[in-house]
Structure 1
Amino acid sequence: MEDRADPDTPSRLYALSPATGAPRQIGTPDAGVSLAERSGDLLHLEQGDHDSFDYTDLLFLSPDGRPARRVKLPEGLSAQQTRPTLVGDTLYFVRQNGEVTAVTTAGKRLWSEATGVEWLGSPVVSGRRNALYLATAAGRVVALDREDGRVPWRGKARTDPGGVPAELTLSGDALTTVYGYDTVEAAGTDVSRVSRAG
């Protein structure tokens, strides 16, 4: 639970007791975004100050009162973009210009790649293909190699651009893209065939 009544004061994060619902304050991070619970800690990306448009730190906040652990992030991770995605020990940052950056939860930049496709949404991940898949509001899909960010293939736009980035669902090698502005459409891709062709 987050309390952000006054933008000039740090937000307060609380953990609620499962038994009683009683709140316990676990941290007062600066502006940013809370990502996920991992190994008992809440991961929070901090922006540093109100004028900053970059994420500066990754906080590990413990609900049992242990001191927060802070990891410094590489420079240039803009907060003006799609919500970062955490997969295992890797954070994926997607900029509006189509650049995707992978950073470990230890603060190490793994790679940064310009995809050539703007306004991508959050990625889905294939462990089987060791790939990321991202899509635009027009239903265009881009694949990236998780090891080095290389782009093995890009699809074509399926409709006029507009609206929010497409939503992706991956089941095995079946990638479903739901997209559209005035009309919602869906398309399927067999990523095993596209990967072999690319």
Structure 2
Amino acid sequence: GALCLTVLGGLTAAQLTGDDTQPARRTTAAQSTPAGFGAWETAPVRRGGMPQCSYRQERLLCALRGRVVALDPADGRTLWRHDLPRTPRSEPPAVAGGLVHPSLDRIGDLEALDPATGRRAWHRDAPAYEGVRAAGDMLLLTRADGTVTGVDGATGRTAWSRRVPGQAVPYFSSFAGEADEPSAYATSPSADGRGTRITAVDPATGDVRWDAELAGSLTPVGAADGSVYLLVGGAVDGDATGVVRYTPGSADKNSRRVTLTVPVGQAEAGVHGDTVYLMGGGGSLVAVDMAAGKELWRLETGVSRGSRPVADGRHVYVTAPDGRLLGVDARTGKLLGQTRPRLGDDSDRVPAALPEPVLAGGHVYAGAPDGTVFGVPGSDPAAW
């Protein structure tokens, strides 16, 4: 499909390389922006659902149908593209060991790309595995028998392989931006469903850093400053009834637990500082201050569902199914602004997962159902 680029911030028109490239089209800037950045949108593919993006190595890395592309975050130029033999799962490309891992769902092989050029750095066949997660500089592969194998993201070599005590078949959660020593978290419910065992594993060695039994059915949603944040009552498929902050080594196994005034169905959650933001299937966006131990605010956004909320301290950002990006005041819960809808030919289909917004350098990036990726300044959502 043709690649088209619209620059909304008055930048010099970028001439993209490749047979399927069209010249950039310039329009008037909606507001002043930092030097080197203008609001932009680009369509790496005409069809293919909502792009899933992440920001690593000064690149905006986006997974689309059958390919991964690297975009310049300043103006949306395509820096490189890498075709995949099969359609990737609805997750953004991961980075481990300084390399891009474009599609960790493809059972049977692994590959890593140079983030500067998109060229393959290594490739290896892997034994059948049930799940894979990037954590720190490692890829963690879980097999059906519960064995976890740590693969060095930089080289593709196996660093370790072992079972995780107390976890039958561990599926890991990991969180970007964690402290110098990131952990991978595996959880499993107790036999009676009244508790959850959570195990923090060092991804570099497979060693258990700590292990705890906590009350309730819990799902990890974030980690910061030595604490782990979990939803009570399940996430995505169930109703979240509360939020737990657990700090390893604390005397109280439930360091801080806040019950929601109204449960949040099919909750997606993100953490910024000591605040947890929940987005529900019915459009409810809720902020919970774990330091104060209370619910801060609740906003009914009116969207049928939303992405995982992403916050920067001033604003909370959420992607809607029609491609809108919503900006909300993180202190008051007031809706400040939203971008226009970007519906595509497949807009009648509900995507399996909505791409969460990406924050980098004071800017916000998002994908839409028409296959576009766009970037806007994060400082003033009202001007979108």
Unaligned runs of 5+ in 1: none
The answer to which of 111-120 and 3-12 deviates more is 3-12
Deviation track 1:36-76 (CA, whole Å, cap 9, x = no partner) reads 3333233333229xxx83423524241x4743124232321
1:145 positional shift: 0.7
Contact 1:2 1:11 survives alignment (8 Å): yes
Which residue of structure 1 lines up, in the alignment, with residue 372 of structure 2?
185
Q: Quick one: which of 321, 329, 334 aligns to 1:137?
A: 321
The 1-side partners of 2:206 and 2:374 are apart by 46
- Secondary structure (helix, strand or coil) at the match of 2:364 reads strand
Q: Percent identity, aligned pairs only?
A: 20
Inter-partner Cα distance in structure 1 for 2:357 and 2:315: 13
Deviation of 1:151 after TM superposition, in Å, equals 0.9
**Aligned-residue offset at 1:119:** 1.1
CA distance in 1, matches of 2:301, 2:258: 26
Question: Match for 2:374: what amino acid?
Answer: A
Residue 358 of structure 2 corresponds to residue 169 of structure 1: yes
- Whether 1:104 and 2:293 are equivalent positions in the alignment is no
TM-score by length of 1: 0.77
The answer to which of 163-172 and 141-150 deviates more is: 163-172
Larger Rg, first or second structure (1 or 2): 2
Alignment check: 8 A CA contact 2:240 2:266 kept? no
Does residue 1:2 correspond to 2:187, yes or no?
yes
Q: State the distance in 2 between where 1:6 and 1:112 align.
A: 34
2:274 is the counterpart of 1:89: yes
1:178 to 1:27, Cα distance in 2 relative to 1, 3 A: same
C-alpha displacement of 1:150: 0.9
Which of 229, 252, 257 is 1:43 aligned to? 229
Cα distance in 2 between the residues matched to 1:138 and 1:92: 21
Instruction: Provide the secondary structure at the position in 2 that maps to 1:188.
Output: strand
Counterpart position of 2:299: 113
Does 2:338 match 1:149? no
Q: Which amino acid aligns with 1:87?
A: H
Aligned to 1:13: 198
Unaligned runs of 5+ in 2: 1-185
In 1: Cα distance, 2:354 partner to 2:206 partner: 39
SS in 2 for 1:77: strand
Contact 1:77 1:93 (C-alpha < 8 Å) held by counterparts: no
Kindly tell me: are residues 22 and 143 of structure 1, through their superposed partners in 2, closer, same or farther at Cα, counting changes over 3 Å? closer
Cα 1:31–1:169 shift into 2, 3 Å: same
Aligned length: 188
Deviation at 1:93, TM superposition (A): 1.3
Hey, what does 2:216 align to over in structure 1?
Answer: 30
Report the AA paired with residue 38 of structure 1: A
**Structure 2 residue matching 1:11: 3-state secondary structure:** strand
Structure 1 residues 27 and 87: alpha-carbon distance in aligned structure 2, compared to 1, 3 A threshold: same
**Cα displacement string for residues 77-133 of structure 1 (whole angstroms, at most 9, x for unaligned residues):** 32x223221111111111222221111113312111122223111122234xx1111
Which of 1 and 2 has higher RCO (CA within 8 Å, sep 6+)? 2
CA contact (8 A) 1:44 1:61 kept: no
CA contact (8 A) 2:199 2:208 kept: no
